[in-house]
Structure 1
């Protein structure tokens, strides 16, 4: 029975370092977060690679930093409020004589209000370096957080899931002509992942030692001796970004940027909390704290932006963004002693996001904006889990800028995200099934301030 122990344990690690990266990232499909600019958010993220008077271009398209003619500091924060509900049922120890209906509720609302901050600075140089602009940004381009009730019907698949990434981007742009600029950036990324899920130790004992479950009034059996598995891992990685901006006319701007993949080798531990009734029978198994790791790659993105000014007051923007989620096909898990190897299938596909936005200057003080976007999911019906109940999304955004004076401006935005209902039909590592549907939506509230020296 020892090989099955290893498979179950390592699958828990796999879910910890890769399976946590989806639904709670309400700002975009997969585990992508685009909320590094409230101004962009107000246009449903259209025009992100050609933004005027917006220091967030440090990481969206460094070539567009030339649009700023003085040192500019910008701070953004967006509160992501995810609401989701599961409806369905399940079976413990499915496919065995011990199979029985799963107990527990629907998990409650796994979402919570999560703030996403960003801080940017752009510095145009002068004198002999007047065509050069430098910039830096701290942001969180990928991440999520979800948490179900600990005794819910899908507890063997997921309870708490959290992924955090923090990027430091250092960029430079060169204005080759009055109408064409290029830019490049260096990205240093920190990634952390945490997972908890219940483990059906009672059912596991019955599979390991059937005689123990044949005793009258036995404490063993499916759902009779639940424990907890907790996985934590972290790593740092390095990537890059390249882009250009072209303004064929005074009214038309075209921008393109490519952000590279970033590879991570997450290292951490898995900790098992076992109830007293089963602890003696598992004392010499792999269900003890041990180090392990897995490889994870955050995807590359390609963004094409177009902006056209129909008048001095009215502008429209369009974005097409491709995210290369094919980097998350499988996750191979290894113990550091090299003994155990497991592989989790995700089979994610590349996705497209299309956004159309507009903004109108009411006067010198106020600008109104709005937009709509369609964002494809990388997940699929075959491999979707409660940690990845993602689906296609539609975004509706409105926003406002207040120019307090020639130096200070304040932005606000609201986005409503409608998420197509995803189906789940899976078998957990504890041998239970979960079949049902999620329904969810998200509200994004953003505010920012920008100061030009």
Structure 2
């Protein structure tokens, strides 16, 4: 018998690679992470493109690097703790219920405490190049990690999802006048993904060999729904290149306006899929010449979205100022993903139909004295997902952020920032078919807590 993808709606390779882009972060909607500055986090990310004393502007808006007048280095780390709970159930490919007695519980808490680091340096030049400022940053703008119990009711959709992106951004800014500057940067991005999910090989065998699932006593049949589970593991990686442009304008001493555009970055994820099959399943598939579930190389194209950020800051007094951000993320680049084997054979075209989103943030800062600054903010962040295509790898929805932060200026050179953010996520519904043909229907309820700390040193 010739191999054919008709034996399964979506192979585990398709689900796994698709999971690279359907894996959500707790820090922002979609799989975006904005936590490259604890100082920005304390304002719910308001004012990110006009920050006055923050080296993270290297990748938020390089034009704002001119706000720093001496060599400045900065290190940030944010611990993201996602808490989520699933309620629901579903049915196997044959229509039998995914009963908890057979398939485990609700998966437990899929979130784990994950550290998101960032390191920045800004170097203003002098002499003939005194209007030029250079900068570099290492950051992780996309990805996170979730892991469900291996026997949970939705194990055919997702068990482990780990996605990492690491960016090296090299930027330069030119101060054209005392009130106007422009900046640009080059981005080198590394993307890696590891994903697993269970495969209901019992249901797959029934589709290709009904006789193997039918006996006078079906319960005693050697194959059947949820009887012959295996595991699919996908690993892939790639490198991509992008860019960022921005400007900063200060029409008055009190008002600052900044804008930046970060480009899309294209990736061709390449890696391997490994199927772990029960011995009886492997023998039957081999006897029939079916290689749909053979291990081997495969991949898919992935495009991380572009973002446009507009920031405004206004100083009401020498001690008090407020900031506003409006950020658009162009998730429309994720309409579908074509999953292919290494020989170019199309396995499936997975539909996402994501929409562009907006994030609005309002923040404020107050200087108690030269040593301490208190800040806070609130933000609304839209989700690109929808009820039709949402999966357990991204149980995402619109969210509201509440942040508090504090800066301690230990001396004229060293400052330390701390921040806490609570993220309330609107409860998302899930109604999805897995690679094994099972259906999962239910609702997620969750929130996230972000704890950040950073240090900055000005030479």
TM range (shorter): over 0.9
> What CA deviation, in whole Å up to 9, does each residue of 1:243-270 have, x standing for no partner?
0000000000000000000000000111
CA contact (8 A) 2:7 2:208 kept: no
Distance 1:21 1:341, change over 3 A: closer
Query: 1:340: Cα distance to partner?
Result: 3.5
3-state SS in 2 of match to 1:15: helix
Identify the match of residue 382 of structure 2 among 352, 376, 379: 376
In 2, Cα distance between equivalents of 1:365 and 1:21? 43
1:61 aligns with: 61
> What CA deviation, in whole Å up to 9, does each residue of 1:173-203 have, x standing for no partner?
0000000000000000000111100000011
Query: 1:2: Cα distance to partner?
Result: 5.1
Query: Residue 80 in 1 paired to residue 80 in 2?
Result: yes
Query: 1:287: Cα distance to partner?
Result: 1.4
1:429 aligns with: 435
Query: Residue 300 in 1 paired to residue 316 in 2?
Result: no
Query: 1:4: Cα distance to partner?
Result: 4.7
In 1, Cα distance between equivalents of 2:225 and 2:335? 32
Identify the match of residue 238 of structure 1 among 223, 229, 241: 241
1:178 aligns with: 178
CA contact (8 A) 1:107 1:154 kept: yes
Query: 1:213: Cα distance to partner?
Result: 1.1
TM score, norm. by length of structure 2:
0.96
Distance 1:6 1:160, change over 3 A: farther
In 2, Cα distance between equivalents of 1:81 and 1:22? 19
Distance 1:224 1:136, change over 3 A: same
Identify the match of residue 264 of structure 2 among 236, 261, 265: 261
Query: 1:301: Cα distance to partner?
Result: 0.1
In 2, Cα distance between equivalents of 1:121 and 1:6? 53
3-state SS in 2 of match to 1:396: strand
Distance 1:153 1:13, change over 3 A: same
In 2, Cα distance between equivalents of 1:100 and 1:208? 21
2:193 aligns with: 193
Identify the match of residue 449 of structure 2 among 440, 443, 449: 443
In 2, Cα distance between equivalents of 1:62 and 1:2? 56
In 2, Cα distance between equivalents of 1:403 and 1:336? 55
3-state SS in 2 of match to 1:135: strand
3-state SS in 2 of match to 1:33: coil
1:271 aligns with: 274
In 1, Cα distance between equivalents of 2:203 and 2:16? 22
Per mean C-alpha deviation after superposition, the further-off stretch among 367-376 and 193-202 is 193-202
Alignment map for 1:336-355 (pairs within 5 Å): 336-355=342-361
CA contact (8 A) 1:158 1:198 kept: yes
Per mean C-alpha deviation after superposition, the further-off stretch among 100-109 and 19-28 is 19-28
Query: Residue 156 in 1 paired to residue 162 in 2?
Result: no
Query: Residue 393 in 1 paired to residue 399 in 2?
Result: yes
Per mean C-alpha deviation after superposition, the further-off stretch among 236-245 and 427-436 is 427-436
3-state SS in 2 of match to 1:178: coil
In 2, Cα distance between equivalents of 1:114 and 1:179? 40
3-state SS in 1 of match to 2:280: coil
CA contact (8 A) 2:8 2:204 kept: no
2:221 aligns with: 218
Query: Residue 228 in 1 paired to residue 231 in 2?
Result: yes
1:249 aligns with: 252
Alignment map for 1:14-29 (pairs within 5 Å): 14-22=14-22, 24-29=24-29
Distance 1:17 1:271, change over 3 A: same
CA contact (8 A) 1:297 1:327 kept: yes
CA contact (8 A) 1:167 1:187 kept: yes
Per mean C-alpha deviation after superposition, the further-off stretch among 40-49 and 331-340 is 331-340
Query: 1:7: Cα distance to partner?
Result: 6.9
In 1, Cα distance between equivalents of 2:14 and 2:325? 34
In 2, Cα distance between equivalents of 1:445 and 1:180? 34
Query: 1:19: Cα distance to partner?
Result: 2.0
> What CA deviation, in whole Å up to 9, does each residue of 1:10-54 have, x standing for no partner?
642232223244564100000000000000000000000000110
CA contact (8 A) 2:24 2:395 kept: no
1:107 aligns with: 107
